[in-house]
Structure 1
Amino acid sequence: MKHLITFCFLLLALPFLAQVKTTYTYAIKGDDTLKMDVYTPKNIKSGNKLPTLLWMHGGGFAGGARDFKDDAQLCEYAAQNGYIGISISYRLLRKGTKTGFGCDCPKEEKMNVFKQAAIDYLDAAKYVVDHAEKLHVNTNYIISGGSSAGAEATLNAVFMREYFADELENYKEVTFAGMFSCAGAVLNAEYITKSNAVPSVFYHGTDDDLVPFSSAPHHYCTPEKPGYLLLDGSEVIVEKLETLETPFYFNIVKGGRHEISAIPFEDLDKVFFFFESTVLNNEVIQTTIIKTKTP
Structure 2
Amino acid sequence: MYLVTAQSPHMNLKIFEFYKYLLLVGFFLIMNPIIGQSTDSMKGNVKMKTYNYADTLLLDFYTVQTDTFKMKPTIILVHGGGFTAGQRNGGDEKGISTYLAKLGFNVASIDYRLSRKGKSFGCDCAASIKMNTYTEAVADLSKAINYLTKEEKPFQVDSSKIFLIGSSAGAETVLNFLFMRYDYRFKDLPYPDANILGAISISGAVVDENNIYNGNKVPLLFFHGVKDSVVPYGTNAHRYCATTDVGYLNLNGPKSIAERLSDLDGNFKVYNSEEGGHEWASLGFDFPELISQFIEQVLNGEATMRDFETINSTVEIKE
Q: How high is the TM-score relative to the length of structure 2?
A: 0.81
- Residue 19 of structure 1 is matched in structure 2 by 46
- Aligned residue for 2:72? 50
Q: Which runs of 5+ in 2 are unaligned?
A: 1-40
- The letter of the residue matching 1:19 is V
Deviation of the 1:166 alpha carbon: 4.4
- Tell me how far apart the structure 2 counterparts of residues 59 and 172 of structure 1 sit (CA, whole Å): 25
Q: Check 1:66–1:134 CA distance in 2 against 1; reply closer, same or farther (3 A cut).
A: same
Task: Tell me the residue number matched to 1:151.
Answer: 171
* 2-structure distance, mates of 1:270, 1:89: 25
Q: 2:268 aligns with which of 241, 248, 271?
A: 248
The equivalent position to 1:136 in structure 2, one of 143, 156, 173, is: 156
Relative to structure 1, is the Cα distance of residues 16 and 112 closer, same or farther in structure 2, using a 3 angstrom cutoff?
farther
Partner of 1:239: 259
Alpha-carbon offset, residue 162 of structure 1: 2.2
8 Å CA contact 2:197–2:298 kept in 1: the answer is no
- Structure 1 counterpart of 2:105: 83
One of 59, 72, 84 as aligned partner of 1:36: 59
How far did 1:45 drift? Answer: 3.3
Alpha-carbon shift at residue 283 of structure 1 (Å): 4.0
**Residues 87 and 217 from structure 1, CA distance in 2 versus in 1: closer, same or farther, beyond 3 angstroms?**
same
Question: CA 1:257–1:49 in structure 2 vs 1: closer, same or farther (change >3 Å)?
Answer: same
In structure 2, the CA distance between the partners of 1:206 and 1:283, relative to structure 1 (3 Å rule), is: closer
Letter aligned with residue 47 of structure 1? F
What are the superposed Cα offsets for residues 201-221 of structure 1, whole Å, 9 maximum, x if unpaired?
A: 100111000001000000000
Post-superposition CA distance 1:140-191 (Å, at most 9, x none): 11101110000001110111122243435x4351321111100000000001
> What do residues 203-249 of structure 1 show as CA deviations (whole Å, max 9, x unaligned)?
01110000010000000000111100001111111111222222212
Mapped to 2, the partners of 1:16 and 1:187 lie a distance apart of 43
Kindly report which structure 2 residues correspond to 1:90-129, keeping only aligned pairs within 5 A, or say none.
90-97=112-119, 100-129=120-149
SS across alignment from 1:162:
coil
| One-letter amino acid of the counterpart of residue 73, structure 1 | G
Measured in 1, the distance between the counterparts of 2:198 and 2:42 equals: 24
Contact 1:255 1:292 survives alignment (8 Å)? no
Indicate whether 1:167 and 2:194 are aligned: no
Residue identity (%): 34
Contact 2:207 2:250 in 1 (8 A): yes
Within 2, Cα distance between the matches of 1:16 and 1:50? 18
Shift of 1:101: 0.5
In the aligned structure 2, how far is the partner of 1:273 from the partner of 1:292?
18
Question: Does 2:106 match 1:71?
Answer: no
**Corresponding residue SS for 1:78:** helix
Contact 1:242 1:286 in 2 (8 A): yes
Q: Note if 1:276 corresponds to 2:303.
A: no
CA-based RMSD of the aligned residues comes to 1.8
Aligned-residue offset at 1:74: 1.0
**TM-score, scaled to structure 1:** 0.88
**1:190 corresponds to which letter in structure 2?**
N
Work out which structure has the larger RCO, using CA pairs closer than 8 Å and 6 or more positions apart in sequence: 1
- Aligned AA for 2:231? V
Larger % of strand: which?
Answer: 1
Contact 1:250 1:289 survives alignment (8 Å): yes
Cα distance in 2, alignment partners of residues 173 and 84 from structure 1: 18
- SS of 2:279's equivalent? helix
Structure 2 Cα separation of the partners of residues 84 and 16 of structure 1: 16
Q: Per the alignment, do residues 265 and 92 of structure 1 end up closer, same or farther by CA in structure 2, a change over 3 Å counting?
A: closer
Structure 1 unaligned spans of 5+: 1-13
Aligned residues: 274
